[in-house]
Amino acid sequence: MLEKTKTMNRLLDSYGKLLTDKQLAYMLDYYEEDFSLGEIAENYSVSRQAVYDAIKKAEQLLTHYEEVVGFLELEARKQEAIKKLRSYQEENYPKDLELATLIDALG
């Protein structure tokens, strides 16, 4: 569950604004605030089932957006490239502070 929570939080950061206001509110309460379905339902005066359905739909949408756009995958590849570049710089150009600063600026 922890891995799913991390993934959903990353997807929310990237694509959350594409959800409806209600979906976004439920998702933030559920994944960021760690509220139960019952607590969310009570806070919004809706049924637990309505909250569950909205969250499941939002999860599907966020996953679909990532499949289509691929922002998180691109970001992961970028971070891996920066890590390799940093390692190369440290091994081959450890005293090049300008290069280290440029690498830092990448991410």
pLDDT in tens, the chain (107 residues): 789 999 999 999 999 999 999 999 999 999 999 999 999 999 999 999 999 999 999 999 999 999 999 999 999 999 999 999 999 999 999 999 999 999 999 98
Question: Domain limits of the chain?
Answer: 2-69, 74-106
Among candidate residues 106, 31, 32, the one with its CA nearest the CA of residue 75? 106
CB proximity list for 14: less than 8 A, separation 6 or greater: 65, 66, 71, 72
Domain 2-69, CATH among 1.10.10.10, 1.10.357.140, 1.20.1300.10, 1.20.1090.10: 1.10.10.10
Which pTM was predicted? 0.77
